[in-house]
Amino acid sequence: MKYDIVVVGSINMDVIVQCPQYPEYGDTVFCNSIAMTPGGKGANQAATVARLGKKTALIGAVGKDSAGSSLLQNLQSKGVDTTHMLEIENQGTGTFVAMVDSTGENTMVGTKGANDFITKEDIDGIFNQIEAKILLVQMETSKESIIAAMKAAKERNMYVILDPAPADGIFEEAFQYADLVVPNKQETERITGIEVTDQETALLAAKKIREIGVSDVIVKMAENGSLVYQNDVPTLIDAIKVTAVDTVGAGDCYAGAIASAYLDTNDLIEAAKFASVAAGIKVSRTGGQDAIPTLEEVEEYRKTVSV
């Protein structure tokens, strides 16, 4: 089967807790609301790619439970091909709890569940059945599935985009198979040991990642924009000015938008500008995957700003 972009990654049920502020250690406090929404970095990125008009498949795993069935149905409703999704016996679907405070910032904790049981054999068998131009992968599934997918993609001359998230999942071996890496500030510090506070420190970190062997790097700096480092030349991309109400999934939206725009333009700077707008719109809304903007919304917004 042929696709524009294939995403290998996680699919989770997210429990979103809206709270005025984070509780102190040991406290019990009342929150504003609790909602269960489809999530997982792979699923969010695949939903973004589909929302932006590209033919995409998610390769990942759920448990044989009601949460897994619900999540697959949700992806299908959003135009994501789930033909190659796995259902793992005796493992639950991944579940994460996100606490979102009044500033829109989030802190998460959870279990990977079935995501951690995807094997090299699973990946190799699926890649023998598919074709695509771009692979988008994160670090929220099993290590062997990540490496197998990146190797298979390189063998097939696919452009490999690695979103090295979450920070706890980072391992160095994956970087040698990536064409582009798009870490946020926390992930950049985990990879390089450099705390990103401004454009200068972002550039130092990007150079260090380049030394690992990655051709292109984009360091995401949230409201301070992003730094594209390509061909040893840095370019600062401004973030759009929005009021952030929910940052859950913002990085996933950015990664999906980067892949989609790069497929169209083959221009990393233009892709980063597009992704900056898409992620900015996303954080200005609540609603998980339903808050991901459409291609038309991004293009219409870009007519009003200089990004």
Write the CA distances from 284 to 28, 197, 241, 281, 292, integer angstroms.
29, 23, 10, 5, 10
Residue 99 marked as a ligand binder: no
Annotated active-site residue in 116, 252, 267, 290 = 252
Q: Which residue has the tokens 């550039």?
A: 203
Residue 190 marked as a ligand binder: no
Residue 140 marked as a ligand binder: yes
Residue 169 marked as a ligand binder: no
Residue 125 marked as a ligand binder: no
Active site residue 252: yes
Residue 287 marked as a ligand binder: yes
Residue 179 marked as a ligand binder: no
Residue 43 marked as a ligand binder: yes
**Cβ density class 61-86: b for 16+ within 10 Å, e for less:** bbbebebbeebbebbeebebbbebbb
Residue 12 marked as a ligand binder: yes
- Are 162 and 36 in contact, with CB atoms under 8 Å apart? no
Residue 78 DSSP code: T
Query: Strands 94-100 and 180-181, how do they pair?
Result: unpaired
Quick one: 152 exposed, middle or buried, by C-beta within 10 A (0-12, 13-18, 19+)? Answer: buried
Count of C-beta atoms within a 10 Å radius of residue 137: 29
Residue 115 marked as a ligand binder: no
Alpha carbons 8 and 137: distance in angstroms, whole number:
5
Residue 224 marked as a ligand binder: no
Residue 290 marked as a ligand binder: no
Alpha carbons 149 and 9: distance in angstroms, whole number:
10
Write the CA distances from 108 to 60, 124, 211, 245, integer angstroms.
20, 31, 31, 16
HSE-CB for 194 with a 13 A CA cutoff: 19
Alpha carbons 26 and 81: distance in angstroms, whole number:
43
> Per the annotation, where are the binding residues for substrate?
12-14, 40-44, 140, 252
> Per the annotation, where are the binding residues for ATP?
184, 251-252
> Per the annotation, where are the binding residues for K(+)?
246, 248, 282, 285, 287
What is the set of active-site residues?
A: 252
> Per the annotation, where are the binding residues?
12-14, 40-44, 140, 184, 246, 248, 251-252, 282, 285, 287
